[in-house]
Every structure is written in structure tokens, then in C-alpha cells.
Amino acid sequence: MTAAATVLLVDDHPLTREALAGLLQVNGFDVVAQAAGGQEAIARAAALTPDLIVLDLTMPDMDGLTALPLLRQASPATSVVVLTAAEDDANLLSAIRLGAAGYLLKSEPPERIVEFLRGVAHGEAALSGAVARRLLDQVREGSLQQGIVPQSFADLLSARELEVLLLLDQHLGTEEIAQRLFISEHTVRSHVKNLLAKLGVSSRREALEKLAAARG
């Protein structure tokens, strides 16, 4: 980062906030404020408009999912990243629907949390590995149940490759897919290359034609 990304930490546990603040400060972030609850966080977000808000989900005065849209309203240019111990699919999906730029587990190694937040500061989005796998599994199963993906494709491609293929089928480009899936454009291109090879085709157009034919 050319300039240190400013960060607001929101967690009701002082030791957690202080530990995270120390970690981020020594890794080039500028922790401009801390908040112990949702109401305090909303006021600080409006006053400081930080680049990032790192938000816990469990707080006494207002839970993180309630606070999330209010934080985004208070500071629309700020990226909100959920950092939680809760490995709950409902919370994950709700946070993404409410506009979270990332969903990280506190069990992640410190260096991974720093890496994720750096990515978000550069306009990317972040999901912990375990979270991403569960989300992909839900996408895969839901697509099969709805008949969006033929079983032959589901057997051949990975969950991520299937997701990329479905987004190609929605006429999204590489940049849009990267933003939708919280991954880099380079990673999108790698997934496209792999799925083309597995399908035995040489272009995105041919892959979509094969998908359409398999759907009947």
C-alpha cells in the first residue's frame, strides 16, 4: 500500500482489539479507532470514514449483522470485513448479502488475516478457506438441485470451476467474475483455462455451447 490503510476495529473484547491493533500497526495499517459495540462503531465510522472496518458479529448492544448495513450507510466508501469465531453458514450468507467485503475466521493465522485485509484494502474481497469451501459446496448443491448444472458437469469440474462457468454463462467478464467471487483476475483466468481443458474445448464460447447442449 502506498499509504497506510486506515482501520476501525469493532469488537467487545478489549484484549482482542488490542492484539489485532498491534498486529495491524506493525504490518503497515493505521488503526485510527476502536469501538466496543455497534452504536459506537457507527458514530466513529461516520466521523472518520476509515478505509476498512473489521467487525465482530457478537456484541452486547447490537449484533454485527444489524450493525453492518448501518456502518455501510454511515461510511459508504468503507469496506467492512467480518472477523468472527462463528463458523455459521447463515451468518456467512447474511453478511455477504448485506455487503461485507470479506468474512474471516479468528482461527486464521495472524499472517493470513493481514494478507486478507491487505487484499481488501486493494479493492479485493476475502473469505477464510473453510468459509469459502462451505459457500462453494452450497452453490454446487443448489445448482444441481435447480437443474442449472448437469450432473456430468458437476462430476467433471470442481465447485469453483462450476461457479466460474455459471458466471460466464451470465455473460460476466473476468473482472466482474473476480469481484463476484472474491478472487483475483489471474485466478479467474486459471480456473477458465482448467475448465476448458477438462471440457475438451478451446474457448469460452465452446464451453457455453457444450453446457447448453448438456442442459438439453
Q: What is the DSSP string of the chain?
A: --SPPEEEEE-S-HHHHHHHHHHHHTTT-EEEEEESSHHHHHHHHHHH--SEEEE-S--SSS-HHHHHHHHHHHSTT-EEEEEES---HHHHHHHHHTT-SEEEETTS-HHHHHHHHHHHHTT--EE-HHHHHHHHHHHHHHHHHTTSS-HHHHHHS-HHHHHHHHHHHTT--HHHHHHHHTS-HHHHHHHHHHHHHHHT-SSHHHHHHHHHHHH-
The confidence score (pLDDT) of residue 1 equals 45
Structural domains of the chain sorted by starting position, each given as residue range(s) with its CATH number in brackets: 6-127 (3.40.50.2300), 132-215 (1.10.10.10)
Q: What is the pLDDT of residue 78?
A: 94
- pLDDT (0 to 100) of residue 99: 82
What string of pLDDT tens digits covers the 216 residues of the chain? Answer: 457 999 999 999 999 999 999 999 999 999 999 999 999 999 999 999 999 999 999 888 899 999 999 999 999 999 999 998 877 767 877 887 788 888 888 888 999 899 889 988 887 767 776 666 666 566 656 655 555 667 778 778 877 788 888 889 888 899 888 877 767 788 889 999 999 999 999 999 999 999 888 876
CA distances for 147 relative to 86, 134, 136, 195, angstroms: 31, 20, 16, 19
pLDDT of residue 148: 65
Bridging pattern class, strands 6-10 and 30-35: parallel
Residue among 172, 175, 13, 188 nearest 196 (CA)? 188
The pLDDT of residue 94 is 82
Query: In the numeric block, which cell numbers belong to residue 156?
Result: 467433471
pTM of the model: 0.66
CB neighbours of residue 90 within 10 Å: 9
Residue 112: which residues within 8 A CB-CB, separation 6 or more?
A: 128
What is the spatial distance between Cα 135 and Cα 132, in angstroms, rounded to a whole number? 5
Residue 97's pLDDT is what?
A: 78
Tell me which residue of 3, 5, 2 sits closest to 120, measured CA to CA.
5
